[in-house]
Amino acid sequence: MLFTQLNELAQAKTNITSLRLALDAFQHLPPQEEFLDFLASRLPEDNSPIPSFSRLIQLIYERFGLIEANESAEMPVENKVNVTTLHSAKGMEAEYVCCMWMNGRFMPMADRDIEEERRVLYVALTRAKRDVMLTFFEEFDHTTGRRLYGEALSPFLKEIWRHLDIIRIRSKDIL
């Protein structure tokens, strides 16, 4: 059900009416009529397709005062954050790279070729000009009643463990 709704939302960029209908399908999402009216007032009136998601994001930035209405949608390169998958990082570069969920159950994925997954991780790690941050989370083993710290880490990162600076961050540290 959720995946169907998300797919419909992705297809709803044809016009503001379609976008409204797709958003209404999400039961727990409060109606944002004021925001949708704001979008409608800045999009073509002939009910034509929304020009692009980048234009939609620019309108959101305008609505919440992050940029002025007449400001260019194009941000300076140094102010951008690229969010990609490890698999689509090839050919890209960034000052900093952050790879999330580097737990054993996610990297390598169980149904994929292990050497291909190792190569993909290598490509992602070598995209950084300055530094790389890898995140993983501790898991709790109910059978032994203990937390799995290093055991939860991807086997690829276990191979280079001594070259990593591991910092444990708890929720109380960031609140």
5 has pLDDT over 70: no
Sign of the C-alpha dihedral computed for residues 81, 86, 87 and 91 taken in this order: positive
Q: What is the predicted pLDDT for the residue at 134?
A: 92
Same domain for 30 and 90, yes or no, is: no
Percent of the chain at pLDDT exceeding 90: 17
* Residues of the domain holding 29: 2-63
114 belongs to a structural domain: yes
What is the pLDDT, as a whole number, of residue 111? 87
Residues 57-78 have a mean pLDDT of 62
CATH at 134? 3.40.50.300
Q: Which residue has the tokens 């609140």?
A: 175
Q: What is the pTM of this model?
A: 0.51
In a domain, 132, yes or no: yes
Of all helices (H) and strands (E), which one includes residue 129?
strand 128-134
103 pLDDT band, cuts 50/70/90, is very high
Which residues, 6+ apart, have CB-to-CB distance to 114 below 8 Å? 108
- Summarised one tens digit per residue, pLDDT across range 104-140 is 988 998 888 999 999 999 998 898 888 999 998 888 8
> Are residue 91 and residue 149 in the same domain, yes or no?
yes
> pLDDT at position 44, please?
63
Determine the 3-state secondary structure of 98 from DSSP.
strand
Answer whether residue 68 is part of any domain: no
Whole-number CA gyration radius for the chain: 21
Are 22 and 88 members of one domain? no
Provide the pLDDT for residue 95: 86
Instruction: Reply yes or no on whether the pLDDT at 165 is more than 70.
Output: yes
71 domain-assigned: no
Whether 101 and 150 map to the same domain: the answer is yes
Reply yes or no on whether the pLDDT at 77 is more than 90: no
Residues 144 and 88 in one domain: yes
Q: For the chain, what is the domain count? A: 2
120 plus 154 within the same structural domain: yes
Instruction: Indicate whether 22 and 51 sit together in one domain.
Output: yes
Higher pLDDT, 82 or 15: 82
In a domain, 76, yes or no: no
54 to each of 44, 58, 75, 124, how far by Cα in Å?
Answer: 15, 6, 11, 25
Average pLDDT, the chain: 77
**86 and 150 belong to one structural domain:** yes
Treating both helix axes as pointing N-terminal to C-terminal, what angle do 53-63 and 33-42 enclose, rounded to 10 degrees? Answer: 120
User: Based on the domain organization, do 88 and 154 belong to the same domain?
Assistant: yes
